[in-house]
Chain A
Amino acid sequence: LAKTTQPISMDSYEGQEVNITCSHNNIATNDYITWYQQFPSQGPRFIIQGYKTKVTNEVASLFIPADRKSSTLSLPRVSLSDTAVYYCLVGDRRNDKIIFGKGTRLHILP
């Protein structure tokens, strides 16, 4: 399973766009990139998944360059409630397990 590297923590302000970048230099051809969000004392929650280029849903956008060695989760106009830990994972559905790294602790300030 490909290893991922993310910043340990980030601070931003309400109303700003936040971009969290994840490095996955050893991503395999069949791997997808998935992001989860976790609030304190809760289980992680799926945010978005993609394979290449750009994916957007009602919560976030995911940008993946052509070489797929990194990806960027973009959260538009964050609010205080977006304070959480964000995990980047890579994997293929043929694996029945996924590995969570340390994630990025995002702190939104008023």
Chain B
Amino acid sequence: DGGITQSPKYLFRKEGQNVTLSCEQNLNHDAMYWYRQDPGQGLRLIYYSQIVNDFQKGDIAEGYSVSREKKESFPLTVTSAQKNPTAFYLCASSPPDRVTEAFFGQGTRLTVV
């Protein structure tokens, strides 16, 4: 089945450690996105990528890094510089068609203790 897979579903890390969230898609979509979801703040864009080896900062990129070495994969690293990393993270992808919505993974809940 085609879709977007995020792993793991739950992730616990100690404060000060970097952590990488995985996002893989087999929809052959060009664009991929990372959003952060906090209560009352909706979905905020962290990073996005239109093509392999290229990506752009979203509205809240500080403390995060990404790579896009393969079309299918867009991992997100939450670094120790991110002051409030505990959140729900959603990965999405979309083709270039204007009519098409973004497709989402199941999300990763990151808790930093």
To the question of whether A and B form a pair in one complex, the answer is no
